[in-house]
Chain A
């Protein structure tokens, strides 16, 4: 297709391979102090007093900030990305275990930790609300007295209730199920942190921070601190993963800023692993009741869902503001469904805030899980093969663009082709025969399918914004006289390889080598405004901006080339990386030659500015809708409940692939996520509010021993509205893989009569499911 697209090795690799990356904790400034946060040991308690006298007397302590100190500065509370407020340092109550209570600043990181022990906090314990299902019952503990709705965050619905009810009334078969998508945590290997430096004379604040969205964060900090936005610079250095965890604002960042302003010295704060797991954005925690209606021969007629969404103590979900449940209402998935209706109620509990923070595409994960579990259950009830049921109901290529019953317009798709490819790669019929033979021998092998449709690349400004900020991204492109280019972008890599992929985009449009394109990102002083990297939006939005700005530069180059060749610009055509005279293609100029001339004394026609530099802002007309078909093969030991994932077949269609090597790496990651989330990762709680997933000893992550060698397949259905036909892919595999794993385990357990078991399917939970004893996986006490 092009010399510039393809599996190019990454430009960013050499620095990481030599240990020369610059992650947040690698940054050290002269005179820098170290901050540490005192956190609440209780999930719910009134603060009677905070006495920091002894801590302030510690010889290495420079300052201690309490909630009362911040309240004097108007910084005790901060806005969340969802229009709620969140406590920076608690003033009235603590509302989850691990909540921020005080901030100590000392001359080294050990001393700061030592001094935390010297702060005396008198708590008056309150009954904690740990079970979302009881949050709206009379007499439930009140988490948020400051909110008019009590523990109710929101009620929201989508779809046509009457039409859905009619579809259910006409159905031959209805299957329903309660299912939990349990609370999880993205756990990037680098935790969150920041270094704040404030220059009082100039009034400039520089904040190095782990931010997936530096520009949006700058706007937020201007709001929080009252500092003018143009005096704030956010630098997001190399990020050690993010996956959504580095989208929200966290109290630690604000504390670092406040302490830098207080002490006049740079202040570093980096959270430890327990702090990260206990207090930064969690993901999921969706209690769902799903129903699916169908005819006796397997035509899906309707879907309904009722959801209780546990948002924790503050509504800090980072998502388009008009959608309180994110994109959950894409829950009709990949199927032709006549009617659908969903209701989502958000509730406050005494748990950490968050909700949309783990490669979830704003809750598409929960939606896909619901419909893919229900589809499998329907197949079981009808006695149909789950692949056959899916193939029968998948949207057909001629239905695109397709408007879903809940109002989404899917841009493009060839679903049956992707499913057939996955079935062929898996050797599906042979696997089913093997399964039958093994069952006859008393061996429990499962084959789980999932077919997902993603909705990524937020988003069209007519439909979505975050706190009033339209979800556009800018791009600036400079071409230096020697033909070397610098692209500045608003999004921020957390490992996705933007420095490589975006160079390929520009190189492709301008006929340059990717080596000749430098990509600048992660510094608000050096990059144009944009909303950042999450929701798989970098390629769909910022990537499109890079292409648009490259084409602007190309058009500017055309005018200069015309002057150089003394022909009309209309006589030039772009072919094989050069502007060529029509009919005389050997008369040709590349962008490098044109760039030198554009900066030279060449006389240009009136109205042509010279230079080739350009800017663009890209407002996406729609989301992109990547999709895929996954098949997981697992073996379950009924004696121990242990699940071993044997094979994972993943066919992904994310439109045109810029760098297939990077795309496949993204898919590998997501498949591992699915194994982790389905089998082991869970943040659960005990009855007094202790977080039971507060370290990597308890919050288990998949290792190389649990992850199989994946088998990947590709189909390409270009997006009709993206400039190069690309779609996002960063979250596809996380979205699609967990239901495939669960479907495989439940399939393996079918001989025991198991029709559903909630994640994580740990050996204990699987064993209990085999015994017919369903469990609440989110609580240790139900």
Chain B
């Protein structure tokens, strides 16, 4: 099937098998390998991306279901070469070790902060509870998102925060 998917602001048209998973479309067809495959069963969340405005597990979405829709991945998170506050937060608070779950965690964290700019630690834990990290015990991920919330709010004062991410021009 011929599909056109907009990924991080760029349109990609490809002919794909109907059974192709979105995660494999992104990784193998587009070579956007930042999103990871981890479990087959929608348990681990290493493959979380945004489909339109919503975080989804891209191992459980067919590529053809993304036809004509907007996809955002970790590769689109940093803008104008500046890291997003959630990326900075993960570095500042040691929110990653092996880095395999990190892209999915970042995408969920960004979505959370866009919808709840000042979350509690419990709300962050709830938000990432569909994702598995085997390295951090989650504590530093929670701290990273709290850090990002604080610095997002600082950025908001500069009028920068609510620029739509999905429609941002490619870097």
Contact = CB atoms under 8 A, between A and B. Distances in A.
Interface in A684-706: 695-697, 701, 703-705
A238 B101 CA distance: 13
A705 B133 contact: no
Contact of A697 (B41, B73, B100, B137): B41
A669 B34 contact: no
Contact of A17 (B87, B101, B131, B140): B87
Contacts of B126: 704-705
Contacts of B34: 18-21
A53 interface: no
A628 B126 CA distance: 31
A695 B102 CA distance: 21
A496 B128 CA distance: 22
Interface centre among A238, A668, A701 (most CB of B within 10 A): A668
Given A238-B99, A709-B139, A17 B91 contact: yes
B67 to A, nearest CB: 19
A16 B106 CA distance: 11
Interface string B30-43: 01111111111101
Interface centre among B24, B87, B98, B128 (most CB of A within 10 A): B98
B132 A10 contact: no
B137 A710 contact: yes
A240 interface: yes
Interface stretch (A185-193, A399-407, A513-521, A537-545): A185-193
A710 B74 contact: no
Nearest to A16: B99
Interface centre among A10, A108, A243, A703 (most CB of B within 10 A): A703
B141 A274 contact: no
A709 B91 CA distance: 19
A20 B76 CA distance: 12
Interface centre among A238, A239, A696 (most CB of B within 10 A): A696
A441 to B, nearest CB: 25
Interface in B75-117: 75, 77-78, 83, 87, 90-92, 94, 96-103, 106
A187 B41 CA distance: 14
A23 interface: yes
A695 B37 CA distance: 14
A212 to B, nearest CB: 12
Given A9-B91, A19-B73, A671-B137, A496 B97 contact: yes
A33 to B, nearest CB: 13
A92 B128 CA distance: 47
Interface in B25-62: 27-28, 31-41, 43-44, 46
A325 interface: no
A494 B98 contact: yes
B142 interface: yes
A241 B125 contact: no
Contact of A19 (B24, B38, B75): B75
A232 B43 CA distance: 37
B26 to A, nearest CB: 10
A69 B64 CA distance: 39
Interface string B148-169: 0000000000000000000000
A667 to B, nearest CB: 8
Contacts of B103: 19
A204 interface: no
Interface residues of B toward A: which range?
A: 35 or more
B40 A273 contact: yes
Contacts of B101: 189
Interface residues of A toward B: which range?
A: 35 or more
Contacts of B98: 188-190, 238-241, 494-495
B33 A13 contact: no
A12 B94 CA distance: 11
A703 B133 CA distance: 8
Contact of A18 (B17, B31, B74, B124): B74
A665 B37 CA distance: 24
A494 B38 CA distance: 16
A16 B103 CA distance: 8
A13 B38 contact: no
B13 interface: no
A127 interface: no
Contacts of B92: 9
A317 interface: no
Contacts of B133: 189
B134 interface: yes
B65 interface: no
A310 B139 CA distance: 34
A703 B108 CA distance: 15
A203 B168 CA distance: 49
Contacts of B27: 25-26
Nearest to B127: A704
Contacts of A20: 34
Given A9-B92, A695-B43, A709-B139, 7 more contacts: A19-B103, A23-B33, A23-B36, A190-B100, A495-B97, A497-B97, A670-B137
Interface of B: 17, 19-20, 24, 27-28, 31-41, 43-44, 46, 73-75, 77-78, 83, 87, 90-92, 94, 96-103, 106, 121, 124-126, 128-142
Interface of A: 9-10, 12-21, 23, 25-26, 28, 108-110, 186-191, 238-241, 243, 272-274, 494-497, 661-662, 664-665, 668-672, 695-697, 701, 703-705, 707, 709-710
28 contacts: A9-B92, A17-B99, A18-B34, A18-B87, A19-B35, A19-B74, A20-B34, A25-B27, A108-B28, A109-B28, A186-B134, A189-B38, A189-B101, A240-B98, A243-B134, A273-B44, A497-B97, A665-B97, A665-B136, A669-B137, A672-B138, A695-B39, A696-B44, A704-B125, A704-B126, A704-B138, A705-B125, A705-B126
